[in-house]
Homo-oligomer: A and B are copies of this chain.
Amino acid sequence: MAANLQVQLANQRDGMPEAGDFHVVEAPIPRPAPGQMLVRTVYLSLDPYVRKAIRGDHPGHKALVEGDVIYGRSVCRVVRSHDDSYKVGDYLVAETGWRQHAAIGPEKVVQRVDPSAGPLSAAIGALGMPGLTAWGSVEHLSLPSLGETLVVSAAAGPVGGCVGQLAKLRGARVVGIAGSPEKCDLVTKTYGFDECINYKEADWEEKLKTACPAGVDVYHDNVGGALLVDMAKHLSLYGRVVMCGRPADYHSSKFHGVGLGPFIGRRAKLYGLVVYDYEHDLERYLRLASAWMREGKLKIKEDRADRLENAPAHFLKLMHGENIGKSIVAVGPEKA
């Protein structure tokens, strides 16, 4: 572990990334400056937003140039600390980038991790920002209630899976949209949604109508682009839409057209969601979610790769929608 592997950008591309756009290199383990700490990456989180952050199209992230380390958050462990608030052995979620070791200041810390709250890796899933995103959607914006039907796209993913499970806890009927029979199996059998529609089947809209006979009261959109438009006609009157992600638009700054007319006809209410708005509510969410997880009411599914060298290939798998569950790279051991 004396070497410090990291993944750098090799090529800034407009469009779907390729393996050659990444570069795995060895670098020395950095020395933390005064006020900083040295952390060791345990689980690296792979997320769709990283694609647009690389392009400089995400708040607080400037476009990377060749040789820059790829943006990323991870569950990490404090190895050395020049900051009295953080002790050696503490677990954090932090902006480490794709590296085995990082010297970071406290401004890079996203959240502290209580290892007794659940599986350590869940801190970048249901017990972290993806879970909080779902919490903001369901508890702060759309408020699905008894007798209502919620539909969520990218339902097999960490945000979609939590949105649906939280809506079930609120008593709503929940229908997922996902991109393969395997994902739909996960959504209904593990997450416990009422139904899941494979949008790659030609008659998926017919199936959605059958699954939502009274229309869609809440649609949580993780996709953007054409699917968001298609969903307008399935909304019930006064339906709510949470606009959360738009990976359909992440590869490029090119404009993706969406016509708003059908939303007017449905008297829809559309809400833009940015997870940072709900950080003040993270502690309350984690207390509840941790209990639900222990009680088996909130399930998670991970798609893990081992070793940082495999991060680029695992990220491309995510970009192509071939992951089933939260995409994670196990970079180093939890303890030791």
Contact = CB atoms under 8 A, between A and B. Distances in A.
A170 to B, nearest CB: 21
A267 to B, nearest CB: 5
A261 to B, nearest CB: 6
A263 interface: yes
A79 interface: no
A266 B272 contact: yes
Of the candidates A255, A258, A266, the one having the most CB atoms from chain B within 10 angstroms of its own CB is: A258
Interface string A247-260: 00100000111111
A272 B265 contact: yes
Interface residues of A, number: 27
A180 B270 CA distance: 32
Give the number of copies in the complex. Answer: 2
A261 B251 CA distance: 13
A132 to B, nearest CB: 15
Nearest to A59: B265
A297 interface: no
Interface in A244-288: 244, 246, 249, 255-261, 263-274, 277
Contacts of A175: none
Contact of A263 (B256, B259, B261, B272): B272
Of the candidates A246, A266, A270, the one having the most CB atoms from chain B within 10 angstroms of its own CB is: A270
A114 to B, nearest CB: 29
Contact of A269 (B256, B260, B263, B269): B269
13 contacts: A224-B261, A243-B264, A246-B260, A249-B259, A249-B261, A255-B259, A257-B258, A258-B258, A258-B260, A263-B272, A264-B273, A268-B271, A269-B270
A243 B270 CA distance: 10
Nearest to A256: B259
Interface of A: 59, 224, 228, 243-244, 246, 249, 255-261, 263-274, 277
Of the candidates A249, A264, A277, the one having the most CB atoms from chain B within 10 angstroms of its own CB is: A264
Contacts of A265: 59, 272, 274
Given A267-B274, A270-B269, A260 B224 contact: yes
Contacts of A255: 257, 259
A264 B246 contact: yes
Given A224-B260, A266-B272, 16 more contacts: A59-B265, A224-B261, A228-B260, A243-B263, A243-B264, A255-B257, A256-B257, A257-B257, A260-B270, A263-B272, A264-B274, A265-B274, A267-B271, A267-B272, A268-B271, A268-B272
